[in-house]
């Protein structure tokens, strides 16, 4: 990464993340096709819903003939972490129009958010619409393309886990975390590693005692809170 915040740089810096989108997008396409949905329907889910893990929930609930209200609520809960992320990046776009802010928020993903937070380490805590929008568009278009490919492969692949596609998104986040840790010099390495370790423990415990659709948002809130406490108490 560098300090440049134009669209061309955004496209270039988003490229390493496309492999994660391709892997999980193909997996969704395969699963959507296997659940009995047409290629057009599967692709339209990615175009309109565009919610990653929430799309898997939507497909499984639709296939099980759950009430629409339940599906909408479940999708909202699974994707509610985006409220936190949008709130975090909103202050960087105060000078931009409402339309631009809505555009950024609508196409925001976990990966583009992580890239944005990492980019701050190189730009003196600044972000631009052109850079962030380019990153979001790479994610959006790659996701749709991968879904289309997956839906086509659904005729030949019955279980995407056999190809290791389900691990693609995990591997991508591990890479993003590594880049964030080595590039953020505003926080001590010991503090960052401590928070990472606490987050892992919190995630493990939460998966045991909480519904799956609440794990991410609860761990995010508690982990961030503990991080602030540790920073102020031991790493001033």
Alpha carbons 136 and 142: distance in angstroms, whole number: 10
Is pTM beyond 0.85 here?
Answer: no
Q: Would 144 be classed as within a structural domain?
A: yes
182 and 213, same domain (yes or no): no
Asked if 127 and 116 touch (Cβ cutoff 8 Å), the reply is: yes
- DSSP characters over 99-121: HHHHHHHHT--HHHHHHHHHHTT
47 and 150, same domain (yes or no): yes
32 and 129, same domain (yes or no): yes
193 and 96, same domain (yes or no): no
Please give the structure tokens belonging to residue 76: 């909202």
Closest CA to 176 of 110, 126, 232: 110
Q: Which residues span the domain enclosing 214?
A: 187-236
Alpha carbons 128 and 125: distance in angstroms, whole number: 11
197 and 86, same domain (yes or no): no
Helix (H) / strand (E) element for 62: namely: helix 53-63
Q: Would 2 be classed as within a structural domain?
A: no
pLDDT tens, the chain, 236 aa long: 788 899 999 999 999 888 878 888 888 888 888 888 888 999 999 999 888 777 887 887 788 787 888 788 777 877 777 888 888 899 999 999 999 999 999 999 888 988 898 898 888 889 999 999 999 999 999 999 999 998 888 777 666 566 665 565 566 567 657 766 766 666 788 888 888 899 889 989 988 988 876 777 788 788 888 888 888 888 76
C-alpha dihedral sign at 204, 205, 208, 212? negative
Q: At what angle do helices 81-89 and 98-106 cross, to 10 degrees?
A: 140
- Structurally, the chain folds into a number of domains equal to 2
From 162, 186, 210, the end of a domain falls on 186
Alpha carbons 169 and 156: distance in angstroms, whole number: 22
Alpha carbons 127 and 125: distance in angstroms, whole number: 7
179 and 225, same domain (yes or no): no
Alpha carbons 93 and 115: distance in angstroms, whole number: 16
13 and 129, same domain (yes or no): yes
63 and 176, same domain (yes or no): yes
Q: Would 201 be classed as within a structural domain?
A: yes
């Amino acid at each position: 990464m560098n300090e440049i915040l134009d669209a061309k740089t955004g496209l270039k810096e988003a490229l390493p993340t496309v492999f994660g989108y391709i892997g999980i997008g193909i997996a969704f396409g395969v699963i959507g096709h296997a659940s009995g949905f047409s290629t057009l329907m599967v692709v339209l889910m990615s175009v309109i819903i565009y919610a990653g893990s929430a799309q898997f929930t939507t497909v499984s609930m639709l296939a099980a003939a759950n009430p629409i209200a339940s599906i909408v609520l479940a999708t909202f809960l699974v994707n509610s972490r985006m409220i936190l992320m949008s709130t975090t990046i909103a202050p960087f776009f105060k000078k931009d129009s409402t339309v631009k802010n809505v555009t950024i928020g609508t196409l925001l993903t976990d990966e583009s958010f992580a890239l944005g937070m990492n980019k701050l380490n190189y730009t003196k805590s600044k972000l631009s619409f052109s850079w962030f929008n380019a990153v979001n568009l790479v994610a959006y278009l790659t996701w749709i393309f991968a879904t289309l490919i997956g839906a086509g492969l659904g005729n030949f692949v019955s279980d995407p886990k056999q190809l290791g596609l389900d691990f693609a998104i995990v591997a991508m986040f591990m890479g993003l975390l590594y880049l964030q840790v080595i590039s953020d010099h505003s926080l001590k390495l010991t503090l960052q590693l401590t928070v990472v370790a606490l987050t892992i423990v919190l995630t493990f415990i939460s998966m045991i005692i909480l519904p799956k659709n609440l794990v991410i948002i609860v761990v995010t809130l508690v982990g961030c809170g503990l991080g602030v406490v540790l920073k102020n108490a031991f790493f001033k």
